[in-house]
């Protein structure tokens, strides 16, 4: 199980990342771009993910991942159940969502890729 505190600890290590409380929801952003957002009850987490790859992600683990609400389908976004997400998987997903929002040089500098 992953908590907001787990994501917060990781996000604090990511350059240009900031935490915000918007309409009672914890969100992590780079500038004005949200890359992770929790539901009000923190039972689900949405994160940036390439639109063209999200169907495959959901099909691979349908008990963990699901599509965002219809109004958010236009965004690069996927949601997951935090109770079913392990720490290693969260680290990968949050880091990749962050990577999509920052300049390439910064991602290379931080991730060594």
63-109 tens-digit pLDDT: 999 999 999 999 999 999 999 999 999 999 999 999 999 988 887 88
**Quick check: is 89 in a domain?**
yes
Alpha carbons 65 and 53: distance in angstroms, whole number: 12
Alpha carbons 66 and 18: distance in angstroms, whole number: 25
The per-residue pLDDT for 105 is: 81
The per-residue pLDDT for 111 is: 73
Give the chain's domain count: 1
CATH of the domain at 80: 3.90.1150.30
Alpha carbons 49 and 73: distance in angstroms, whole number: 11
Parent domain of 65: 4-104
Give the closest residue to 5 by CA, choosing from 82, 99, 105: 82
């Amino acid at each position: 199980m992953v908590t907001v505190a787990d994501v917060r600890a990781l996000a604090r290590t990511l350059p240009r990342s900031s935490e915000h409380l918007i309409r009672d929801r914890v969100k992590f952003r780079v500038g004005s771009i949200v890359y992770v957002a929790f539901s009000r009850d923190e039972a689900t987490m949405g994160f940036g993910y390439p639109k063209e790859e999200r169907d495959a992600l959901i099909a691979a683990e349908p008990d963990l991942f699901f599509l965002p609400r219809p109004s958010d389908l236009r965004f690069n976004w996927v949601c997951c159940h935090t109770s079913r997400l392990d720490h290693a998987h969260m680290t990968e997903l949050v880091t990749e969502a962050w990577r999509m929002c920052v300049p390439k040089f910064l991602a290379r500098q931080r991730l060594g890729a």
